[in-house]
Amino acid sequence: MLFYSFFKSLVGKDVVVELKNDLSICGTLHSVDQFLNIKLTDISVTDPDKYPHMLSVKNCFIRGSVVRYVQLPADECDTQLLQDAARKEAVQNRQR
């Protein structure tokens, strides 16, 4: 739930999602669900020559299991807060 909450706080921000098939999609994060499925709006691909069929696509839904990386805006990430939350969640999981 840590990452889900974190991504929910980034709705409306520009992100780059790299998929396992090496396709990178830039866009505005519209929504995310508990399975980390992502919906992007106003998308563009980083390599339009390799994926010309993606030029006409404006919005997309990305299944969470095909995501390799999500590049976030550096000014939107409070890394200290994220690290503290990860530590707290790890401690809670060990106590179970």
Residue range 82-94: average pLDDT? 82
> What does the block give as tokens for 20?
């396992």
Domain that holds residue 73: 1-95
Whether the Cβ atoms of residue 39 and residue 32 lie closer than 8 Å to each other: yes
Write the CATH number for 37.
Answer: 2.30.30.100
Instruction: Report the candidate in 82, 90, 59 with the shortest Cα–Cα distance to residue 4.
Output: 82
* pLDDT tens figures, 38-78: 999 999 998 889 988 888 999 999 999 999 999 988 777 77
Strand stretches in the chain, DSSP E: 14-19, 24-32, 38-45, 59-62, 67-71
User: Which of 18-22, 28-32, 38-42, 91-95 bottoms out in mean pLDDT, i.e. has the lowest?
Assistant: 91-95
Distance (Å, rounded) from C-alpha 30 to C-alpha 91?
32
Q: What is the pLDDT of residue 8?
A: 87
Confidence of residue 1 (pLDDT cuts 50, 70, 90): low
Q: Specify the pTM.
A: 0.79
Backbone angles phi, psi at 16, to 5 degrees: -120, 125
Residues forming beta bridges with residue 42, ordered by sequence position: none
Overall domain count for the chain = 1
- The neighbouring-strand residues paired with 19 are 67
Give the three-state DSSP class for 9. coil
Residue 5 binned pLDDT confidence (cut-offs 50, 70, 90): confident
